[in-house]
Amino acid sequence: MKKIYSILLLMLAIASLASCDWKFKLTGEEDDPDRIEIQRYDRLESRYLSTGDFSALQQMNTTYPVETRTLVEDVLQLGAVTDSHINNRFLSFFQDSTLQNIISDAEAQYANMDDLNDMLSNSFIKLRELLPDVDKPVVYAQIGALDQSIIVGDKMIGVSLDKYLGKDYPAYTRFYTAQQRETMERKYIVPDCLTFYLLSLYPMKDHDQRPQLERDLHVGKVMWTVNKVLPHPAFNGRFIKMVDRYMKCHKDVTVEQLLKSNDYSQFK
């Protein structure tokens, strides 16, 4: 009996270790410090909004408190998460048939994100070669209400899957122009993550007082940088070309100096 009991303990210990390893991989805590795994906050959100599963809501609030507060208060603007009626308001908001279809379609299209995780990881490795002081962010997926595509916080990036369902997605034709829909594709998730993250780290000084040309050039500098770390350039346009010409003529200028500079006369 004692021998059987010892074997059972050993089996339980092995099972426990296996489950811990699985959990770590699920949440993106890999052995590789450069690896970025998109955290699947969207799956908990989908469970609650589709079925009213209260346990999913509890996990959203306990495991992802910052993400939930950002979604409810800042993105959807439904009120404070401490409001006694906020859970019902959150659930009711998504009962619209269009939003329910978006939830279902987003979960189907993004059942697997391995390609995005690989691209994010490789791009950030290259980005940190250009900008060594840039911190690796936590990236998570969520489902919004066709509002913001990318949400950037303190070392965090939220990806709204509802904004990347494909340029021909039926609901988009009601709200967006053909030009806007061109970038509402899966392939733009990583470029957009990088762009908005860098814009948060290298904001334009006195943005509201700057002329439009300088604002466009600032975004052009960021997009030029993003193109450098992607497998294939994602962005093109007049201002990116202006930055590219400048950098080819000033090889002594680092990317960090480029992004921090507030002198735009050099591009004119």
pLDDT in tens, 201-246: 999 988 888 999 999 999 999 999 999 999 999 999 999 999 999 9
pLDDT value, residue 208: 86
pLDDT value, residue 209: 86
Q: Would the pLDDT of 163 be above 50?
A: yes
pLDDT value, residue 143: 97
Using CA atoms, how far apart are residues 205 and 207, in angstroms rounded to an integer?
Answer: 5
Instruction: Please compute the mean of the pLDDT values over residues 168-176 and round it to a whole number.
Output: 95
- Mean of pLDDT over the chain: 89
Query: Quick one: 90 exposed, middle or buried, by C-beta within 10 A (0-12, 13-18, 19+)?
Result: buried
Q: Would the pLDDT of 185 be above 90?
A: yes
Instruction: Please compute the mean of the pLDDT values over residues 73-86 and round it to a whole number.
Output: 95
pLDDT value, residue 31: 65
The two tokens of residue 120 are 């994010």
DSSP annotation string for 160-229? EGGG-S-TT-GGGGGT--HHHHTT-SGGGHHHHHHHHHHHHHSPPTTGGGS-HHHHHHHHHHHHHHHHHH
pLDDT value, residue 177: 96
pLDDT value, residue 266: 84
State the distance between the two ends of the chain, measured CA to CA, in whole angstroms.
Answer: 85
Using CA atoms, how far apart are residues 22 and 16, in angstroms rounded to an integer?
Answer: 10
pLDDT in tens, 105-147: 999 999 999 999 999 999 999 999 999 999 999 999 999 999 8
Among 18-27, 90-99, 238-247, whose mean pLDDT is lowest? 18-27
Higher pLDDT residue, 60 or 30? Answer: 60
User: pLDDT-derived band of residue 267, with 50, 70 and 90 as boundaries?
Assistant: confident
DSSP three-state, residue 251: coil
pLDDT value, residue 8: 40
Strand partners, 138: 156
Higher pLDDT residue, 213 or 29? Answer: 213
β-strand pairing of 156-160 with 138-142: parallel
Of 175, 171, 191, the residue nearest 183 (C-alpha): 191
Using CA atoms, how far apart are residues 6 and 262, in angstroms rounded to an integer?
Answer: 69
Q: Would the pLDDT of 268 be above 80?
A: no
Q: Would the pLDDT of 24 be above 60?
A: no
Global pTM value: 0.86
High-pLDDT (> 70) share of the chain, %: 88
